[in-house]
Chain A
Amino acid sequence: MVDQGTQLEQAVKDLFTTLDKQYTQNFPLDQYKASLLPQLKPASPVILNGNPIGGKASFQEVWMKFPSTQHSITSVDYHIIVGTGTVIVNISGKVRFDESGKTRLGETADLQIQGLPTGPSATTGNSARAFWGSWVGFNANLIVDETIFQGINNELINSLNWKVIYTPDDSAIKI
C-alpha cells in the first residue's frame, strides 16, 4: 500500500505544476486560464502575498498576470482534521520567475520603431526561451478535501495561501 504522505506529496506537486504551466502561442486563452489550478472550488478564498483574492475565477485572472513561474517544493507536512473531511497542508520551497521581459502570455514591451530595421527575431519574440531569475523562498498553506488521497481530478481545494518569504537581492522581478 502506498503511504498516505507519499500520495499527498505527489498530489501537492501536481497542483503546483498547474501553476507553472507555460502558455504556448495560439493556445485558446480561456482554456489556458482554466488550466491554472483547476482544483480550486469556485468560492475558495485565495491569499497571494497577503492580498485576498476572491475565488477561483479571480485567482486565475490574477495568476495570468504573474510572470511565468517554476516552483520546487522542498517540504510538505499535513494534518488530517478528523470529522471535517479536510486536510491542512503546510508547504515550503522555492519559486523562480521568468526575467526575459515577457508576460506569462508572451507579450513584450518592445516598440516597433519606424526606420529601424527589425530582424526575424522581433516577430518570434513569443517563443523566445524563458530566462529564469534567482530562486525565491515561498510558503504555502492549503486546505483540501480528504479526496486528495484519491487523486486531484476534481475541485478539492478549499483555500490557498501563497506567500513569498524570501527575496534575493538580485531578483529582477519586483516582488
Chain B
Amino acid sequence: MSFRGNRGNRGGFGMPNSSNITGPGAQLNQLANEQQLRNAVQVEVRGWQGGSKDDVVAFISRKTRITLMSSSIENDAVVGYVKTQNDANQLKSWNGVRFAGNALEFKVRSTATSSTIEMLKAFLHRRYNQQLKMLDLSNIASDTQLQSQGAFSSMTTQSKMFPALMKLASQEKFIVESVNLSDNNLQDLSGISSLAQTFPHLVNLALSNNAISRLKALEIWKHKFKALRELVMANNPITSNPLYKDEVSKVFPRLVILDGVVIRDEAKLKAIYELPLPHKQFFFEDAEIQQLSTQFISNFLQCWDNDRSQLMPLYTPDSQFSLSADSSVPNDAQASDVSFGLYLPLSRNISRVSNTRSREQRLGKGQEQIYKLFQQLPKTKHKLDTDPQLYSVEAWRYPQVNGFLVSLHGEDQEVAQPEVHPDQNNGSNRNRNYRRNVGGSSSNNKLTPKSFDRVFTIVPGPGSLIIASDMLIVRPLANAKAWSEQEMQPQQQPSQPQSNTTSTQGTPQPGVQLPPNLTPQQGQMVERLMMETKLNLQFTLLLSEQAGWNYENALRGFTESHQNGQVPPEAFQ
C-alpha cells in the first residue's frame, strides 16, 4: 500500500526526496534500498590511534578508494560498514598499510556469527538515512536479512524488538527528525511507546498501514512529542472515528499536518509557542547609564575577586548589603555542585528565614558590617573579561535616589574558603551541626561554580559613585542560554531549503539548483544521473540516496524499476 490517493498530497513527510512517495516510487525506493542493504559488510580497523577517527576514515577512503560508512569507535577499533563483501575483501588486502606511524589492521566481521545486537545495529544502519535524518522502520518483518538471521524466531515479537532497536538507536546517537513505522501491523502504540523517549524532538512520523483502531491508544504519547509537526496515520481503522482529528490534535499540540491536511495555522502556532518578546542580553536605559554601569561592573567584579577591602570606599554608613541563598531556582548544575553550606548562615532570604532577629542580623548596614559579611563569603573568580556571554545586565534610572539600578546576572567559580568562617562571627551556637562541619572537609563547604543575580542601587557623585544598596542572590549554576542571543540568530535568518521544507512547496523542476548540502561529487553524480535517466531532480536525489551515492547501483536500480514499469510518469523531467 502507499499514500497514493491520499488527498493528492504526495510526500506525506513534506520532504521532496523522502521515501514516503507514491506507489511505483516506493518500489523504486525499496529496490534501491535493498540493493544497498543486501551487501553492507561490517569491518573493524585497528592501529588507527595515531590520528582521529575521521582522519583514519579519510585516509582509508583516499588510499583504498573504499568508503567506511557510519563509522564509530568501539573499544580499540573503528567500526564501520563497507558497501559490498568485495570491498571488504579488498580492504583486507590493505592490512599493514602505514597510517600515522602505525600499521593498520582490517578485520571483517562475519555477519553469520554476529550477535543479536550486532544484527539489530546493522539493521538500524541500513535503515538510517543520515542526510534526511530519517529512520525508516517500515515493514520490519519483511527485512530479508533479519529473516535470514532468524530475528523473528529469536525475538518472539516485534514489540520486544522495538525497544531494543530504540535503545540501540540512542546509543548510536542517530540524529533523527523523521521516523517511518508504516506497514508493521501495529494494533496500538504500547510496543513502540519508547519512541517518545528516544526521539522527543521528532518532527515527522508515519504510522500508515497499521491496525491502530482505538483513540485511547494515542494517550501514551500525550504531550510527549513537543515538536511533532506532521503525522501520517492513513489506512488505520482509527481514522474513521469522528473524534479522530480532535483527539490527535490534543495529543500532539504542535501538529500542523495530519494525513496530508493542514490542521493548524502554523504561523499562529509558532506565536503561541514563543514569548511575545525576544530575550536580550543587555538593556541600558541610555548611553550614560551604559557607560557608568559597564565600567562599574568590571571594576567591581575585579575588586570582588581580588581584594574586597578596595570596594569599601563605595559604601557609606547608610549603605546596605544582604545575601540570599536560593538552591531551588531551576538549574542544570551537577547535584554534587549544589552546595550552599557556606552561604546559609548568612542568607537573609525572607522566604526561608522566618526569625526576625536573624533577618535583622543578616542585613549589613554601613561599611563595617558590610565588609564583615564580604569576608565571610567564599573567594571567587568571575570570567567577565574572557567569557562576557556568561553575563547579562539591565540598568535603568531610579529617580527617587537620583541614581540608577544595575541588575547583573552571571556566574563565578568559588576559588577559596572565606577569610572568616561565617559561624565564627555569629556570636551564637544555634547551629551546632554547622559548627561541626567547619574545617573545610565537609561537602557542604565544597567550592563549586555558582550562578548569581545581584542588584545594585547606585548614586553617582562628583567624580565617584556610591552603592546605596547591594543585594546578592546565589543560586545553583545554570547555563547562560536564557539570555544568549547567538543561538537565536540562525532561526531569524531565512533558512535554507533543507529536509524540513514544507510539503506546500512544489516539486523541484529540472534545472533547479542542487540542494546546498550535497558534496561536489554528489552534485556531479546527480547531474550525470539526470542526463542518463531523464528523471527529475527529486527522484534523482531519492535514487542516489537509496543507492548510497553509488552511481552504478543507482543506474542499475533505475533500469530494473523502469523495465518493470515501476517508475511513475511524474518522476521524469
Contact = CB atoms under 8 A, between A and B. Distances in A.
A76 B351 contact: yes
Contact of B398 (A3, A118, A143): A143
Interface in A68-118: 73-79, 81-82, 84-86, 88, 90, 92-94, 99-103, 107-111, 113, 116-118
A165 B482 contact: yes
Contact of B264 (A79, A86, A111): A111
A110 B263 contact: yes
Contacts, number: 241
A101 B264 CA distance: 11
- Which secondary structure dominates chain B's binding surface? mixed
Contact of B407 (A103, A107, A139): A139
A44 to B, nearest CB: 11
A175 B246 CA distance: 28
A139 B223 contact: no
Contacts of A108: 264, 272
A174 B276 CA distance: 10
Contact of A77 (B280, B324, B468): B324
B329 A94 contact: yes
B243 interface: yes
A86 to B, nearest CB: 5
A151 to B, nearest CB: 17
Contact of A100 (B253, B351, B478): B253
B253 A101 contact: yes
Contact of B453 (A3, A6, A65, A90): A90
A164 interface: yes
A161 B400 contact: no
A126 to B, nearest CB: 13
Contacts of A119: 242-243, 245-247
Given A79-B469, A90-B324, A137-B478, A62 B350 contact: no
A60 interface: no
A46 to B, nearest CB: 10
Contacts of A150: none
Contact of A82 (B200, B281, B318, B451): B318
A141 B405 contact: yes
B329 A102 contact: no
B352 A75 contact: yes
Interface string A136-175: 1101010100000000000000110101111110101111
B272 A109 contact: yes
A136 B473 contact: no
Contacts of B398: 88, 143, 158-159
B277 interface: yes
Contact of B457 (A81, A164, A168): A81
B407 A110 contact: no
A159 B266 contact: no
B475 A137 contact: yes
B338 to A, nearest CB: 13
B356 A5 contact: yes
A42 interface: no
A48 interface: yes
B65 interface: no
A8 B359 CA distance: 13
A51 interface: yes
A55 interface: no
B482 A77 contact: no
Contact of B262 (A8, A66, A111, A121): A111
A167 B392 CA distance: 15
A150 to B, nearest CB: 18
- Which secondary structure dominates chain A's binding surface? mixed
Interface in B243-281: 243-247, 249-250, 253-254, 261-266, 268-269, 272-281
B249 A110 contact: yes
Nearest to B269: A109
A88 B471 contact: yes
B143 interface: no
B441 interface: no
B359 A3 contact: yes
A9 interface: yes
Given A8-B350, A75-B351, A50 B483 contact: yes
Contact of A174 (B274, B329, B330): B274
A173 to B, nearest CB: 6
A18 interface: no
B478 A165 contact: yes
A52 B405 contact: no
A66 B356 CA distance: 37
A113 B275 contact: no
Interface string B452-476: 0101010000000000110101010
A71 to B, nearest CB: 12
A111 B263 contact: yes
Given A3-B359, A90-B471, A78 B279 contact: no
B409 A121 contact: no
Given A6-B354, A81-B468, A110-B263, A166 B226 contact: no
B351 A50 contact: no
Given A100-B253, A167-B482, A173-B274, A109 B266 contact: yes
Contacts of B276: 62, 65-66
Contacts of B243: 117, 119, 121
Nearest to B244: A117
Nearest to A100: B253
B322 interface: yes
A26 B242 CA distance: 28
A133 B64 CA distance: 52
26 contacts: A5-B359, A50-B280, A62-B277, A67-B275, A73-B351, A76-B350, A76-B351, A77-B471, A81-B401, A85-B400, A92-B324, A92-B475, A94-B330, A101-B254, A109-B272, A110-B263, A116-B263, A143-B400, A161-B396, A163-B482, A165-B392, A165-B451, A166-B451, A166-B479, A166-B482, A168-B330
Interface of B: 200, 223, 226, 242-247, 249-250, 253-254, 261-266, 268-269, 272-283, 285, 318, 320, 322-326, 328-332, 348-352, 354, 356, 359, 363, 392, 394, 396-398, 400-401, 405, 407, 409, 451, 453, 455, 457, 468-469, 471, 473, 475, 478-479, 481-483
List the 6 shortest-distance A-B pairs measured between CB atoms, nearest first.
A50-B280, A101-B253, A174-B274, A166-B478, A75-B326, A65-B276
